[in-house]
Structure 1
Amino acid sequence: MNQGIEVVGLYVRDQQEALDFYVGKLGFVVHSDVGNGDYRWLTVQHPQQPGFQLGLFRPGPPVHDAATAQALNALVAKGAMPPLVLTVDDCRATHERLSAAGVEFMQEPVERYGTVDAGFRDPSGNGWKLIERAAAAVA
C-alpha cells in the first residue's frame, strides 16, 4: 500500500485574495480549483514540489457553522496559527524578491541558529518563515 500526505490546508478569509497572493506573489501554481455551490476546493503547489498541495480553504459550511467560522477567521487574522516554513537557498535574496513583489515582512532576515530566517504573513494572517538551508544541507 502506498500512502502519503498530499494536501495540507490553510484557512483564508477570501480565496481569490489568497490565490492572488500565493500565485502572483509567492510563485505557486494552481493545482485544483473546483466549486460546488458556495464551496470551493482550491489548492496550489510550490513549483518545485509537484506532489504536495496547499489547500486555501474558507472556514464555513459544510464543515463549520457560522460561529465557528467567525472564530477561526479571527484566530487566523491574529496570527494565532502555527507558521508554515518555506526553505530557500538564499533568504536575503528571496526576501528582496518577495518584498519587490509586494509581500510585507514582519521580520527582516536575521542570522540565528546557524542559518538566516525572515517572517511574513499572507493576507489572511497566516504566518510564514523563510529559512535558508544550512550550508551543509545545500547540495
Structure 2
Amino acid sequence: MLNAITITQIYVPDQDQALDFYVGKLGFEVTNDMQFGPMRWLTVALPGQPDRALLLEKPGPPSMSEETAAQVRELITKGAAGGHLFFRCDDAYKTHAELKAKGVEITEEPVDQPYGIDFGLRDPFGNHIRIAQMKLG
C-alpha cells in the first residue's frame, strides 16, 4: 500500500524566479536541479524534509503542447490553475512579519480560526499559499 507523498507539483512559468522565491524568501532547499530530456527537473524541500519535495514545473513539452502551456501560464497568472500549497509554522505572526520583511506579497493577514492562526499569500506567479499555526489539542 501507499505510505507517503514524496513529490507534489505546481506550475511556475519561470523556474529561476521560482527558486528566488521558494529558496530565497520561503527558506526551501534545492533537492534536484537537472536537465531531464527536454525539461528541467527542479525540486525543492523544506530543510530536514528532503523526502517531501515540491516540483517547480515549467508548463511545456513534453507533458503538454506549447499552445496548452500558454493557456496554463495564463491561468496561473490569474490564480486559477489549481496550485495550492499549505504549510504549518510555529508562530504565524512571526512568520508573517519575516515574510513581509523579505518583500513577500501577503494577500490575507493572519486570522484566528477554529484550527489555529493562518494567513495567505501568492507566489510570484499566482499559486496560492496558506501558512498556519495550528492549535494544540
Normalising by structure 2, report the TM-score. Answer: 0.92
Contact 2:10 2:83 in 1 (8 A): no
54-63 or 71-80: bigger deviation: 71-80
Q: Could you say which residue in structure 2 is the equivalent of 1:85?
A: 86
Q: How many residues align?
A: 136
Report matched runs for 1:29-48 at 5 Å.
29-36=29-36, 38-48=38-48
How far has the Cα of 1:3 moved from its partner? 4.9
- Render the CA deviation track for 1:71-117: whole Å, top value 9, x for unaligned: 11111111122521111111111000111111110011111224111
Aligned CA RMSD, in angstroms, stands at 1.6
Q: What is the identity, as a one-letter code, of the residue corresponding to 2:55?
A: G
TM-superposed deviation, 1:2 = 7.2
Task: Return closer, same or farther for 1:2/1:79 CA change in 2, 3 Å cut-off.
Answer: closer
Counterpart of 1:15 in structure 2 is: 15
CA-CA distance at 1:43 after TM superposition: 0.2
Q: Give the letter for the 1:65 counterpart.
A: S
Letter in 2 for 1:83: H
Matched residues in 1 for 2:109 and 2:3: separation? 38
Equivalent residue, structure 1, for 2:96: 95
Q: Tell me how far 1:38 sits from its aligned partner.
A: 4.5
Question: Is there any run of 5+ residues in structure 2 with no aligned partner, and where?
Answer: none
- DSSP 3-state at the match of 1:33: strand
Partners of 2:11 and 2:83 within 8 A in 1:
no
Q: What pairs with 1:55-74 in structure 2 (closer than 5 Å)?
A: 55-74=55-74
